[in-house]
Amino acid sequence: MMKFKFMYLIGLAVAAMPLLQSCSSDDDPLQNSYTAVVTVVPMSDNGFELNLTNTEKLIPSNLKTSPFKNKEVRALVNFRYDDETEKSTSRNVTINWMDSIRTKMPVVSAGENNDEKFGNDPIEIVKDWVTIAEDGYLTLRIRTKWGTPSAKHEVNLVSNVNPENPYEFELRHNANGDTYGELGDALIAFNLNGLPKPEESPIKIKINWTSFSGSKSTEFDLTLREDKSDANYTGINYSNRVQ
């Protein structure tokens, strides 16, 4: 399995806002810049675009090809609008930096063997602006204990857990024995665009998980794509150890 790429840039001063305008001097390239969670979508001409929301797209003017090649992934991006006055759902931007988020498909429930196959170690979903459901993706800031530096933690979103509700999932965590240490955070995203599309949108997805204080659940409103498609950041230091 691929592992999270470490997000070196997340130590930048990022406040808990969907988009952040930085305060800098006039010659600072990050002046008037914004940080957001986006979907990096490769195009047939080897170019790419960024889905900012369910309806808004960003077109990079200073990058011709995606750093993630032909992979569609969620990512953190810092950018500047080339024209701040433009009002459009498709806008040209200059990318200052971009870093991928570990992006996965959901897995199918193994029934009574879920604990053995996917683990049941405690994990938390952190309420934060990067914990968001949009563009057919569920992106989560997660928190758990991290001990041995070489240990890899497997995190999966398990489907088919409720025969009566295809939009209900379990977030499963297998720490591979690495259950002692300090609490720390990571990011992970799941592509849910393969779910059945009802007539009404958005859909409501339910997530169940085992936390450090017992069983928890929450719900998200999620708009799927029409086209079917296969806070303080200093605490998010463990993304390179999540599979």
pLDDT in tens, 166-176: 999 999 999 99
Return the percentage of the chain with pLDDT > 70, whole number: 80
Q: Tell me, what's the pLDDT at 232?
A: 40
**98: its two tokens:** 């971009």
For 103-241, which CATH class?
mainly beta
Query: Measured between alpha carbons, how far is 88 from 67 in angstroms, rounded to an integer?
Result: 25
Q: What is the pLDDT of residues 97-138, one digit of tens each?
A: 999 999 999 999 999 999 999 999 999 999 999 999 999 999
For 19-100, which CATH class?
mainly beta
Q: What is the pLDDT of residues 51-70, one digit of tens each?
A: 999 999 999 999 999 999 99
Amino acid sitting at position 233: Y
In this prediction, residues 195-206 reach a mean pLDDT of 92
In this prediction, residues 199-222 reach a mean pLDDT of 96
Q: How far, rounded to the nearest angstrom, does the alpha carbon of residue 134 sit from its chain's CA centroid?
A: 10
Identify whether the C-beta of residue 239 lies closer than 8 Å to the C-beta of residue 187: yes
Q: What DSSP character marks residue 8?
A: G
**Helix (H) or strand (E) run with residue 171 in it:** strand 168-174
Where along the chain do its domains lie? 19-100, 103-241
Assign 14 a pLDDT band (cuts: 50, 70, 90).
Answer: very low
Assign 196 a pLDDT band (cuts: 50, 70, 90).
Answer: very high
Is the backbone peptide bond immediately before 29 cis, with ω within 30 degrees of 0? no
Is there a common fold for 19-100 and 103-241? no
Tokens 């090809």 map to which residue?
Answer: 65
Q: What DSSP character marks residue 156?
A: E
